[in-house]
């Protein structure tokens, strides 16, 4: 759902749980690391089942030669809206670490909700 037929991605994310946002951010990290070291993400490096699946997706893409897919998608993104407490917490953590690649809005704190 993040890859259009022409290879482009979305300009805005309406995320629910932060999974798409996490995948894009981890994808950018994995591509940068791979280009420097040629090391692939290791799904067995985590006990978190959700994160293991993220790493599997990223590993498969890098093995297929997609070394800039997530970087390109991240550059197209204008922002993300997030509804869940978990997703908002994750966005706040990324922002505090200086890792958030795009503008984000907490839908729960929005007057439009």
**Domain extents in the chain:** 12-109
For residues 27 and 99, is the Cβ–Cβ distance under 8 A? Answer: no
| DSSP per residue, 44-91 | GG-S-HHHHHHHHHHHHHHHTT-SSHHHHHHHH--EEEE-SHHHHHHH
Residue 3 token pair: 């890859």
Confidence of residue 1 (pLDDT cuts 50, 70, 90): confident
Number of H helices, E strands in the chain: 4, 3
For the stretch 62-96, pLDDT in tens is 999 999 999 999 999 999 999 888 889 999 999 99
């Amino acid at each position: 759902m993040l890859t259009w037929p022409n290879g482009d991605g979305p300009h805005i994310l309406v995320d629910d749980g932060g999974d798409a946002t996490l995948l894009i951010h981890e994808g950018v990290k994995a591509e940068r690391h791979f280009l420097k070291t040629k090391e692939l993400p290791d799904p067995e490096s985590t006990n978190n089942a959700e994160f293991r699946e993220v790493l599997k997706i990223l590993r498969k893409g890098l093995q297929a030669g997609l070394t800039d897919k997530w970087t390109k998608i991240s550059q197209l993104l204008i922002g993300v809206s997030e509804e869940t407490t978990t997703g908002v917490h994750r966005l706040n953590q990324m922002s505090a670490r200086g890792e958030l690649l795009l503008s984000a809005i907490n839908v729960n704190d929005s007057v439009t909700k």
